Amino acid sequence: MPTGEDDRKVREKVELLSLKERRKRKRSIKMKKPDFTSIYRDLNRSGLFSVLLSHSQPSDQSNASCASRLSDFGLGLLFSIFAVFFLLFAPCFFAV
């Protein structure tokens, strides 16, 4: 025959489990990745990409313009690699 104390212990366990479940749900909501397709779609609708592309592509399609676009791409790639490296290892440099 369960007593009042046993009922209280069971209720506390159920409350603790539900609290843990709520915390898990909050964590999973926070850790969701951003939806890049919707961001891209919104930017594309706003016309930002068409403006950027029209400025980045010169009117003449000569080899020099192709080389300059490749060098711009290389510089951008180099900068992004440096930025990722800095973001990953900056805490190590500042912690010392």
Q: Each residue of 75-84: pLDDT tens digit?
A: 888 888 888 8
Digits of tens for pLDDT over the chain (96 positions)?
A: 456 778 888 888 778 777 778 777 766 666 566 666 776 676 666 665 555 555 555 555 555 566 666 677 778 888 888 888 888 887 777 766
Could you state, in order of their start, the residue ranges of all structural domains in the chain? 1-55, 63-96
The string over 54-72, giving b where at least 16 C-beta atoms fall within 10 Å of a residue's C-beta and e elsewhere, is: eeeeeeeeeeeeeeeeeee
**Residue 44: strand, helix, or coil:** helix
